[in-house]
Structures are given as C-alpha cells and as structure tokens.
C-alpha cells in the first residue's frame, strides 16, 4: 500500500477539525490512514532502540544490553498504572469525536494531562527511585547487570514525565483522527534521542562517556523537550485537540472517574503483561548461563520482536480509533468489521518480519554488537520461535484494539491474566519444579501464551457484547 491517502481533516479558522471519513468512508483505507503513521513511528522508535543496544553492546558489552532490557521491562510495569488513564482518554476521545462533540474531546484531554502530571511527579519519580534496587533483585538481575541497570532505571523514573506526556498527546491526537502529527513528533524524539545517545554513550570532546547511563539521559532529554512543546501546543491550539479555554483549569471528577473506569482495567492488564515479562526474566535469570540468556532475551524479545509488536500496536490504535468513532456515530457494524480489516494487514507484516528472524537471526543479533557464541546461539533459537509467535500476537493485538476502542477494557485484562501470566509462567514453574528448566522451555512457553491471547481475543470480540457499552460523562457546559 502507499503511505496513506490524504486525510479529510478540514480546517476551520486555522483550527483542524475531525476527519469524518473515518466513520463514513471506505473502511480499509480508514484503518490504514490511522495505522500507517503509527506503524512508521513505532518502527522509527524501534530503530532508536536498536541503536541504543548496538552502541551499548559495543562500548559496554552484553551486560549493558541486559541492563537496558531489564530496566525497560521494570519501568513498563511501574508506569502501566499511570498510562492506563491514556487508554480511558482514548476511549472517551474517540466516542466524542465520532459524535462530533469537540468540547468534551478537549475537556477529556485536559483532565488526562492534569492527572498524568500529578501522578508522574507525586508517584512515579519518588517511588521508582527508591524502589529501583529492590526491583532489580526481584528479576534476578546478575550482579554485573545490576551495576549498569541501577542508574539507568533511576533516571527513567525521575524524568519519566516527558515520555508520559509524549504518549498522552499521541494517543489523544490519534483517537481524534490525526495520526500524522504524532508521527512528526515521534521522528523528532527519535532523531534527538539518537544524536544525544551517540554523544552521551560514547562521549564527545569534553563530554565523558556515560555508557549505559548515557542511553537513559538521552531518552529523558529528548522526550522531555518534546513533552514540553506538546503541552504548550495544546494550550495555544492549532491541533485537532487542545485544552479548552474560558472556564480556567479545574478538575472534572466525572471525566476523571471515567478515565480510570475505562482505563484502569487496561492499566492492570499492562501491569500483568509486564509483570509476566519481569517474572519471565526471573526464570531466565535462574538458568545456568543467566547473563548470556538475559542478554539474548533482551535483544531478541524486547528489541527485535518489538518490530512486530510495535507495528501491530499501530493497528491496535487504528482499530480502537475507527471502532470507537464508529460507535460514537451510531454505526456498530462498521466497528465490528474494523478489527478484521486490520488483522489482514497485521498478518502480512508479522509474516514478513518473521522470515527475517528465520533466515538471518545471527546477522540481526550482530547489529547489537553481540559476538559471544553462547548469546548468539540462544538469541537465534529464540528468534526462530518468535517468527511463528509473531503472527498470533499481531492478530491478537488488533482484536485487543477493537475491544478497547469500543470500551470493553476488562476483557483484554482477563485474557492477559490467562495468556501472559497463568500459561507461560505456569509452564516454566512446572518444568522447573519437576525437571530442569532449559532456555527452549521458556521460549515455548512464550509462544503458548501468544497463541492463547490470539484465540481468546478474537473469540471475545466476535461475541459483540461491546455493542451495548455506553458513555455518559462530561455533560455539555451551560
């Protein structure tokens, strides 16, 4: 497909308005219009991760690769609760945009911003900083890995507000039908991050080499700068969403409660998924060659496999937007078809990337500076399993988007508890209890979880119980 047809987002007095083709035009182009910028943004963001790992692998070694992978897994677990309100925000924004209710769209975005800032400063920074050593011990990080991971993790916690605001703004714009502005912001973040990391990881002139810590510093600076810009832009206007003017800044508790009512299940789901990943790291850390296995897991699963999950996440957001706006405009049948159309794109993309995992795994791992023969063998073995697993997780994510976009955020939570916790961790625990746990056992457990998630997500969405979910918050101001 081409890079998407031109959007039908009109402009009124210099202000962008909602794209009505998302609810009235041909369905597949509507899904693709939202999906391709997000997929491209995620791929570019993935390139940033590749460069981080490659530089750290070359200048620090595999301990640095493992430190970044473990730290990001822990960080995602902790911020999942705060990020949950962005899912709730996306549900409300899509519904209100589909109904053409600009006032409630903007008020929802403002409330999400206020709560995100408060939780970031009051919870994420202080709790994360002091809990970081304990969290690294919980995932059985090797001692040399902990030395690299602790400063990285603490910087991410202390300066995480910029990243949260970046994600919030992107989610708000996409749910309102504008996926190109988040792409532009994402490109700026990625380019700035790469430049900063090249300087801070290896050093330049009077700037010393910070190694693994420099990767965290670059991320914090890049996302922080763009987060500040996005906040100012929402205040001044010019995007399809903005902060409302006229009544001052105040908390609207009915909207805030709705943010958490729809978002909290997704937050718990995010915690469950990332907690499952952190606990899986614990099993990886219990292997005989724990350091090498953790490095292989960090690069193969958290970085290379992300090219499948992040592109599929673009389709997740596209389905959520189109399905949510379709429900808001009173067209549930269109919402039902959106997930199937997105799944067709997801399968093609996951299969293409999976072929690379099958045929050139060592070449891909070599991009990260991996030369240790044990790490290369373990990483190539994991990639072979993930080449199959990727198709199932891609389809599962598109149908998750359909459920979340229509307001059914509880079903993905229950599905994740089964597929990301009970099944893979149960398999690993059983084998470890009654036999000897090998890396291939862990890789097969991951595949089993992904297949389960796909089957349950498709089944639940096709039941259609989301058709009866209604949203009644943020009544029009007099």
> Over the stretch 401-453, which tens digit does the pLDDT of each residue have?
999 999 999 999 999 999 989 999 999 999 998 988 898 999 999 999 999 99
pLDDT mean over 457-471: 91
Q: How high is the pLDDT of residue 353?
A: 93
Query: Is the predicted pLDDT of residue 182 greater than 80, yes or no?
Result: yes
Mean pLDDT of the chain: 85
Distance CA 440, CA 443 (A): 5
pLDDT mean over 134-154: 84
Residue 441: inside a domain = yes
Q: Lowest-pLDDT range, 76-90, 191-205, 408-422?
A: 76-90
Residue 114: inside a domain = yes
Distance CA 349, CA 306 (A): 12
Host domain of residue 457: 26-466
**Contact between 425 and 279 (Cβ < 8 Å):** yes
Q: How high is the pLDDT of residue 12?
A: 46
For the chain, what percent of residues have pLDDT higher than 70? 92
Residue 16: inside a domain = no
Q: How high is the pLDDT of residue 475?
A: 62
Q: How high is the pLDDT of residue 1?
A: 33
Distance CA 138, CA 279 (A): 8
Split at pLDDT 50, 70, 90, the class of 39 is: confident
Q: What is the 3-state secondary structure (H, E, C) of the chain?
A: CCCCCCCCCCEECCEECCCCHHHHCCHHHHHHHHHHHHHHHHHHHHHHHHHHHHHHHHHCCHHHHHHHHHHHHHHHHHHHHHHHHHHHHHHHHHHHHHCCCHHHHHHHHHHHHHHHHHHHHHHHHHHHHHHHHHHHHHCCCCHHHHHHHHHHHHHHHHCCHHHHHHHHHHHHHHHCCCCHHHHHHHHHHHHHHHHHHHHHHHCECCECCCCHHHHHHHHHHHHHHHHHHHHHHHHHCCCCCCCCCCCCCCCCHHHHHHHHHHHHHHHHHHHHHHHHHHHHHHHHHCCCCHHHHHHHHHHHHHHHCHHHHHHHHHHHHHHHHHHHHHHHCCCHHHHHHHHHHHHHHHHHHHHHHHHHHHHCHHHHHHCCCCCCHHHHHHHHHHHHHHHHHHHHHHHHHHHHHHHHHCCCCHHHHHHHHHHHHHHHHHHHHHHHHHCCCCHHHHHHHHHHHHHHHHHHHHHHHHHCHHHHCCCCCCCCCC
pLDDT mean over 170-188: 91
Total domains in the fold of the chain = 1
Query: Is the predicted pLDDT of residue 15 greater than 60, yes or no?
Result: no
Residue 20: inside a domain = no
Q: How high is the pLDDT of residue 358?
A: 93
pLDDT tens across 313-348, in order? 888 889 999 999 998 888 999 999 999 999 999 999
pLDDT mean over 466-476: 77
Residue 17: inside a domain = no
Residue 104: inside a domain = yes
More confident residue, 374 or 277: 374
Q: How high is the pLDDT of residue 474?
A: 60
Query: Is the predicted pLDDT of residue 399 greater than 90, yes or no?
Result: yes
Q: How high is the pLDDT of residue 14?
A: 47
Residue 75: inside a domain = yes
Distance CA 160, CA 274 (A): 17
């Amino acid at each position: 497909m081409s890079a998407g047809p031109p959007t039908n987002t009109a402009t009124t007095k210099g202000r962008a308005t909602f794209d009505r083709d998302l609810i009235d035009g041909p369905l597949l182009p509507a899904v693709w219009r939202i999906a391709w910028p997000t997929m491209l943004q995620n791929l570019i963001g993935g390139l940033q991760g590749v460069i981080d790992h490659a530089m750290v692998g070359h200048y620090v070694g595999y301990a640095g690769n493992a430190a970044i992978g473990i730290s990001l897994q822990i960080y995602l677990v902790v911020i999942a609760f705060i990020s949950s309100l962005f899912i709730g925000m996306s549900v409300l924004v899509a519904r209100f945009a589909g109904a053409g209710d600009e006032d409630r769209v903007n008020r929802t975005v403002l409330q999400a911003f206020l709560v995100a800032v408060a939780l970031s400063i009051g919870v994420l920074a202080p709790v994360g900083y002091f809990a970081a050593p304990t969290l690294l011990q919980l995932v059985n990080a090797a001692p040399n890995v902990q030395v690299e991971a602790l400063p990285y993790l603490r910087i991410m916690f202390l300066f995480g507000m910029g990243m949260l605001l970046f994600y919030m703004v992107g989610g708000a714009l996409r749910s309102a039908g504008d996926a190109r502005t988040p792409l532009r912001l994402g490109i700026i973040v990625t380019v700035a991050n790469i430049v900063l990391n090249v300087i801070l990881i290896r050093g330049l002139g009077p700037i010393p080499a910070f190694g693994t810590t420099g990767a965290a510093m670059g991320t914090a600076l890049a996302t922080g700068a763009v987060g500040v810009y996005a906040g100012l832009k929402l205040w001044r206007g010019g995007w399809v969403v903005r902060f409302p003017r006229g009544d001052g800044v105040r908390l609207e508790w009915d909207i805030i409660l709705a943010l958490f009512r729809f978002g909290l299940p997704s937050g718990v789901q995010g915690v469950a998924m990332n907690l499952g990943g952190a606990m899986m790291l614990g099993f990886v850390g219990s292997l005989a060659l724990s350091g090498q296995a953790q490095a292989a897991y960090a690069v193969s699963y958290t970085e290379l496999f992300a090219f499948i999950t992040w592109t599929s996440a673009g389709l997740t957001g596209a389905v959520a937007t189109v399905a949510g706006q379709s429900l808001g405009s009173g067209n549930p049948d269109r919402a039902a078809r959106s997930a199937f159309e997105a799944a067709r794109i997801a399968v093609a993309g996951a299969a293409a990337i999976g072929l690379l995992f099958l045929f050139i795994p060592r070449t891909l791992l070599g991009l990260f500076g991996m030369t240790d023969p044990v790490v290369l063998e373990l990483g190539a073995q994991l990639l072979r399993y993930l080449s199959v697993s990727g198709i199932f997780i891609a389809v599962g994510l598109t149908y998750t988007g359909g459920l979340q976009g229509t307001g059914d955020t509880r079903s993905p939570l229950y599905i994740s508890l089964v597929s990301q916790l009970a099944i893979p961790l149960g398999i690993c625990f059983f084998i470890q209890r009654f036999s000897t746990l090998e890396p291939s056992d862990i890789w097969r457990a991951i595949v089993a979880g992904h297949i389960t998630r796909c089957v349950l997500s498709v089944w639940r969405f096709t039941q259609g119980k989301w058709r009866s979910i209604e949203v009644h918050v943020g009544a029009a101001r007099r």
